[in-house]
Structure 1
Amino acid sequence: MKKFVLMISLLFFTLSFYTITVAAEEKGDSQKQESFDLAPDAKSGILIERDTGKIMFEKQAHEKLPPASMTKVMTLLLIMEEIEKGTLKKDELIRVSENAASMGGSQIFLEAGEEMTVNDLLKGIAIASGNDASVALAERIAGSEEAFVKMMNDKVKELGLENTQFQNVTGLPAENHYSTAYDMAMMAKELLSHESVTEYTSIYEDYLRKGTENEFWLVNTNKLVRFYPGVDGLKTGFTNEAKYCLTATAKKGDMRVIAVVMGAGTPKERNASVSKMLDYAFNTYETKKLFEKGESITKLNLFKAENRNTPVVASQSISTLFKKGESVDELSTSVKLDAITLPLKKGDKVGTLQVKNGETVISETPLVVEENVEKASLFTLFKRSIQKLSKYD
């Protein structure tokens, strides 16, 4: 009987010890998870590496929220695309409409009928978050703000984003105008493929109409540009509904990261959360640069093209990301070309560069042509056919 009681006591002791241990471990895991919240004062947030798109931290990253002036990340993306295509010149003078001049909120106080260069309007958007400058450029590109908003939403679909819808180009409060931390990060990733955008978003202060009676002092709404080394963009946002938001990017060495916070209570909390994310990224990870944007990868040898040998280049910079101290297997790359239909325009996708770490695919990047490719003329085709036949003589 004593042995039985002893066995029962030992059993209860063992079970109690196990329960206490498991509870302690679960509590410890919970505390560890809580301590890893890099954006404790924000409703949502995300941290990604730009080249690979790898997520290093996320919190409610797919929750639909008002993005406020972070909307202008997409506005800037479409503007930079037009500049890169050559359909919009930085020295072009834009005449400001009554509609653009009437925008409230953040503005650079454009007057109806005033003319300003694309370059200065870009500064007004990137530095001071000018709603009037945003609408002025949108109207120049698409004819109206409404038409430009359609372009924005079409681009959202093209990028495969499912939780964003825009109603205006500025981020001013509007029904069914929303995005997510994840979607904003992907838009920022695309915007940063136009690397010259940081020439604007990295400016802390500047002047418009310098030397005139209407001189206007621009001060960047993103204070981290001045106070966090390596930060060179991108876009802040605030409305009473959205609270304090920020899509930021920073570069250290070859590594560029993007951090997004939405719904922070104060500017200080917003900046602190983004700073924590950036610290974590640069302290924990490192990258290996493989190719620069525009670097030649291969060539197209097209019999029916006027220029038979056409360079194929990386559409964006290509890197690998890994934790510091982590072993990396042998990296390998391979090119897969698409079926080609002529003619091609500069920037058209013609293939994919795949990067593997061992047997694991770690990235796939579009390859594009760096120049227009026209169909060969009948005379060119005739000459090539003769040359080809002569080889068999």
Structure 2
Amino acid sequence: MKLKKSKPTTTKRHLVRKSVASVLLLNMLCFSLVPAMALAEGTQGTQTEAPSTKPASQKNAASKIPSVESLDLQVRSAILLEPVSGQVLLNVNGDLALPPASMTKMMTEYIVADLVKKGQFAWDDVVTVRKNAAKTVGSRIFLAEGDQHTIEELYTAMAMASANDATVALAEHVAGSELAFVDMMNEEAKRMGMKTAHFANSTGLDIKDMPKEFQPDSTEETVMSAMDAAILAKYIVTDHPDFNRFTTIQSKKFRERDKQPMINLNYMLEANKSVTNFKQFAYEGMDGLKTGHTANAGNCFTGTAIRNGVRYISVVMGTSSEKSRFVETRKVLDYGFNNFETKQIVAPKVTVAGSEFVTVKKAKDTQVPLVTDQGVDFVIPKGADTSTLEAKVTMNNETLTAPLKQGTKVGTVTYSYKPAGMDQTLEKTVNLITAQDAEKANWFKLFMRAIGEFFGDLFNGIKNLF
């Protein structure tokens, strides 16, 4: 008796799956060429926001800095600002709008110097003194109507000796009238981001002390916060770094016939360390900027000093005496130089963890390395621990295609850091750029890449059937 053999069920299933797979493969190969080219590039997924990165080890040690209260500042308001970063390191009523007295002249100085820099005027241009300037009272060099002096001569008298008449003469020469110049001052204040500043004249005098026929119709007096004064000073030292060729002149005769020279009202100039009357105030690195005094304003001073390449701007307003404005300024600047340092937290041209590469379509090498375009510097307490620095990456939501130049911006990195002992969180955003050119691949490489990707996807799909 002959027995009939039966195949195992598993063998039948295997044959069925193999047949189906073969049919699918043959059908898909028939239509592979065009789709393969289309699949060559794929769709790039763009990362819109990378998670924050934080080092695993975080230290708690940080330099102790004294409290602002411990300085016992005898002022109505005060500010300490680092002009490069714009960081405010000390703030006592810094946003309070107060009469700034002759610190107002800093805006006149900025505008005149800026117009000279732009070529609209020249330092040796001759100014003819008009009635308004000749009748201006207060600190002055006793200009007479019709006198003629160069812009540089008048600017020097304004910057070092706070001459009101020289200031008005410059304002009228530049704008045609002092009131027209005041419009320019208020426009500049807006551009600079000064939030409380309002100018009524070019000098800082109370309106009632101006020559009556040249007073504005408005009764709104000149005001400016300590923060606004610091911002204005920042623009001066940044846009006109040669400011100190005027502000460091200790004394100078305005006219050869004058019996007494003009004396710089900034007693804190470093050069005064050898001057008997002023050496008690002389401060290392001090090279500007502007004093002020009226009955309403009290005594004010915007000072700036530089040491080892680091500059600070200090503002004190409403001190009780001429000498006290310098005593309080010393406290503010010492607070900065003794307790803080400018430190590079992140070097330029570095990679960011988790965002080392970006995909570029049609490139020879589709993974292009990324780096930051610049370093990150913060003003921090001396010796502060910086391990708590955080980095947040935001990529541009766009598809990148070769060819692509080195330095192409593809996103940003925002670094944030809150130093121990400081209330503010410091932030700086830099660009994330390509570290090299991304050259376009030739047609053959693109074709072979497309075939490879197609068959890779195909066989992955077949494998998943089993």
Give the structure-1-normalised TM-score.
0.67
* 105, 108, 111: which one aligns with 1:78: 111
Q: State whether structure 2 residue 224 is matched by structure 1 residue 189.
A: no
Tell me the equivalent position of 1:321.
379
1:244 equivalent to 2:299? Answer yes
Matched, 1:276 2:331: yes
The answer on 1:134 being equivalent to 2:134 is: no
Partner of 1:218: 262
- The yes-or-no answer on 1:67 pairing with 2:100 is yes
1:239 positional shift = 0.5
For the structure 1 residues 62 and 215, does the alpha-carbon distance in structure 2 shift closer, same or farther, using more than 3 Å as the test? same
For residue 204 of structure 1, what is the aligned residue in structure 2? 250
Equivalences for 1:126-165 in 2 at 5 Å?
126-165=159-198
Identify the match of residue 234 of structure 1 among 272, 289, 292.
289
Q: Give how far 1:289 is off.
A: 8.3
1:94 to 127, 131, 148: 127
Q: 1:189 to 1:355 in 2, by over 3 A?
A: farther
Which structure 2 residues correspond to residues 21-32 of structure 1 after superposition, within 5 A? none
What residue ranges of structure 1 are gaps of 5+ in the alignment? 1-30, 291-317, 335-350, 366-393
Give 5+ residue unaligned stretches, structure 2: 1-65, 208-219, 273-281, 346-375, 394-408, 418-424, 431-466
Letter matched to residue 183 of structure 2: K
State the alpha-carbon separation in 1 of the partners of residues 414 and 259 from structure 2: 53
Query: Higher relative contact order at CA 8 Å, sep ≥6: structure 1 or structure 2?
Result: 2
Alignment CA distance shift 1:278-1:88 (3 Å) = same
SS class of match (2:105): helix
For 1:261, what is the secondary structure of its paired residue?
strand
Q: Which residue of 2 aligns with 1:178?
A: 223
Rounded to whole Å, the distance in 1 between the matches of 2:203 and 2:233 is 16
In structure 2, the residue corresponding to 1:192 is in which secondary structure?
Answer: helix
Identify the residue that residue 320 of structure 2 maps to in structure 1. Answer: 265
Q: What secondary structure, in the 3-state scheme, does the structure 1 residue paired with 2:261 have?
A: strand
Cα distance, 1:280 vs structure 2: 1.1
Shift of 1:116: 0.8
- CA gap of 1:97–1:283, structure 2 versus 1, over 3 A, is same
SS in 2 for 1:134: helix
Inter-partner Cα distance in structure 2 for 1:171 and 1:82: 21
The structural deviation recorded for 1:285 is 1.3
Seen in structure 2, the aligned counterparts of structure 1 residues 124 and 46 have a Cα distance that, compared at 3 Å, is same
Whether the 8 Å contact between 1:246 and 1:261 is mirrored in structure 2 is yes
- How far apart, in 2, do the equivalents of 1:319 and 1:113 lie? 52
Q: How many residues align?
A: 285
Query: Distance between the aligned counterparts of 1:221 and 1:364, measured in 2?
Result: 41
Q: Percent identity?
A: 38
User: CA 1:90–1:32 in 2, change beyond 3 Å: closer, same or farther?
Assistant: closer
Any idea what the Cα deviations from partners look like across 1:171-214, whole Å, max 9, x if unmatched? Answer: 0013432111011110111111111111111111122223xx24
User: Are the counterparts in 2 of residues 328 and 357 from structure 1 also a CA contact under 8 Å?
Assistant: no
Larger Rg: 2
**Superposition CA RMSD, Å:** 2.8
Q: SS at the partner of 1:78?
A: helix
**For 1:323 and 1:115, how far apart are their aligned partners in 2?**
52
Q: What is aligned with 2:86? A: 53
Equivalent in the alignment of 1:376: none
